[in-house]
Structure 1
């Protein structure tokens, strides 16, 4: 509200500010812009490191580009030919179905084991909890290439630890067993590796979530005669549900793009039977030197991942609405 004073003889009326309805002060305006200014470097780095390569990949997917054209800097646009060839190829759909099944199996195993370990951490004493947390953090912090190399040694055909242990336990047929000789055994090794890498993240997330649950709720449930299982369903699970949703979402993304593990274990073999979409895009693009085709497969992979994400978020939002 402003109060109009009498007009002085020498000039216009003077408005006296009596509340916060007037124009914002420069200091307040700068304070409102401060959070956005702090976020600006991170946003700029994200756009530069992720947005620009994504744009370049999209442009490349509309080109017919091989090694000769790349060296000569020749640009040959071919429209949607790369996409048409990819979408009409039965190999692409086989790899897509394989990738979905691979992601589902790994995500379910990771979330199940990670949840159990997280609940175990909440039950352990201080010393054992710290010891287990240190082990989980070390496993989680190990670089992906390093851990993949360790698993290659463990499952090596002639000098691998796994084959040696199985031989000592009486399974002599496993002494020189090739774990990368078939589709199922190769996927078994890759799945064990991915679950081993992913469980620490899920377990630590879930353990952190359990520390936010008020102890009074467990006491009230115990007074009502609830056993451990009923206490878990009525107290623990409702509090953990948002964390489970978020962690599952992150795990699906991480497993779906597990290029390093699959490619380093056996290069997508044997006979390209363990290729998932990121490996398939690399082999078709870089391996076969058809870079436009590889870029088109990469774009389609991103679209599939976005569709899975949208479907998952729709389920989460619908369940939250039902709870309200």
Structure 2
């Protein structure tokens, strides 16, 4: 006696389950939605804080750049809209373009010195022993963590005309003409002091982070390069530099932004003097806006400063993004 079994067709067994309209979604889909929304929920406080503390002041500054605002308008509570007069007046000023060129040159020189000095110091950290590395790292962190105004005050004492340590050392070394030298009395000497201060406070950031990047390079690559007969320079060029190139691009990007908008270093040393010859765009905007009480003009200069910085960084940012795409 044979028993006949009846099986459902394969297509019927594998047909998907259709959720009737109006019914609740499956619990698994609800959990996936929660997990997908979690990153945005975590980012929300940071986005709100950025919009409040950065976005709103930028909007207000942009509105102020289209107004004629000085002490008279502030006292009388009068809003006087002038359109693009502040921008046309600023762009037509020779002083603005002179300060812009000075700011670009100042940024380029300092960024090059910082990146070279920071790279060499970071590579030195990678080759030192544990104790010397710890000692040097502690000194770098202390120099980097010192408040800018405190560091500026120390440099003012060091380069003081009458009782400065630098003049005393130069005089003791036989350079008697430097005994009472006024370091902030000329444009180049003032920029030298400011640049030395900026380099001293910026090199530790580059050095410590570059040393951290070198720890991610596999030792086997150096051993393979040595077996192939590569020397110290060839090993750096073929092994170390390719690994550090993304870090160097990002760090240079950050340093350009930080140096271009540097304000306390320059203003605290000599307030942009002598004769406003060491003013960069941030100091120039402050002097014109707050010092001369032309607040609308100062706001216009600050907006133009942001646009100039974006224009300068556009090409560099495109290179960094292209390299990231190539690595992916």
> Hey, what's the Cα distance between the residues in 1 that align with 2:16 and 2:112?
68
Deviations 1:198-242 (Å, cap 9, x if unpaired)?
A: 000000111011000000000000000000000000000000000
CA distance in 2, matches of 1:313, 1:69: 41
Q: For 1:224 and 1:133, how far apart are their aligned partners in 2?
A: 33
Residue 277 (structure 1) aligned to one of 262, 281, 287: 281
Equivalent residue for 2:138?
134
Map of 2:202 onto structure 1: 198
- 255, 258, 261: which one pairs with 2:262? 258
1:244-323 counterparts in 2 under 5 A? 244-318=248-322
- CA drift of 1:151 comes to 0.6
- Structure 2: distance between partners of 1:107 and 1:68: 42
Matched residues in 2 for 1:305 and 1:209: separation?
A: 28
Q: CA RMSD in A?
A: 2.3
Shift of 1:317: 3.8
| Matches of 1:322 and 1:32, distance apart in 2 | 28
CA–CA separation in structure 2 for the residues paired with 1:262 and 1:135? 24
Q: 1:233 aligns with which of 231, 237, 240?
A: 237
Quote the offset at 1:73 in angstroms.
1.2
Unmatched runs of 5 consecutive residues or more in structure 1: 6-11, 15-20
2:226 corresponds to 1:222: yes
1:157 to 158, 161, 168: 161
Residue 302 of structure 1 deviates from its aligned partner by 0.4
Matches within 5 A, 1:28-43: 28-43=32-47
Q: Give the conservation status (yes or no) of the 8 Å contact 1:4–1:13.
A: no
Alpha-carbon deviations, 1:268-300, whole Å to 9, x = none?
A: 011110000000000000011000000000000
CA drift of 1:318 comes to: 4.6
Aligned to 2:6: none
Partner in structure 1 of residue 53 of structure 2: 49
Counterparts in 2 of 1:3 and 1:187: CA distance versus 1, 3 Å: closer
Aligned residues: 315
Q: Secondary structure at the match of 2:230?
A: coil
1:28 is displaced (CA, Å) by 2.6
User: How big is the shift at 1:43?
Assistant: 1.0
CA distance in 2, matches of 1:33, 1:142: 40
State yes or no: 1:114 paired with 2:118: yes
- Give unmatched runs, 5+ long, in structure 2: 1-13
Give the superposition deviation at 1:320.
Answer: 5.8
Distance 1:260 1:198 in 2: 14
The change in CA–CA distance for 1:22 and 1:159 in structure 2 (over 3 A counts) is: same
Distance of 1:130 and 1:295 partners within structure 2 = 45
Cα distance in structure 2, aligned partners of 1:22 and 1:2: 17
Aligned residue in 2 for 1:18: none
Offset, 1:23:
8.0
Q: Is the 8 A contact 1:60 1:295 kept in 2?
A: yes
CA shift in 2, pair 1:117/1:3, >3 Å: closer
**Shift of residue 322 of structure 1?**
7.3
User: If the length of structure 2 is used for normalisation, what is the TM-score?
Assistant: 0.91
CA distance in 1, matches of 2:188, 2:20: 87
1:185 is aligned to 189
Q: Distance in 1 between matches of 2:86 and 2:28?
A: 55
Seen in structure 2, the aligned counterparts of structure 1 residues 155 and 4 have a Cα distance that, compared at 3 Å, is closer
Shift of the alpha carbon at 1:27?
2.8
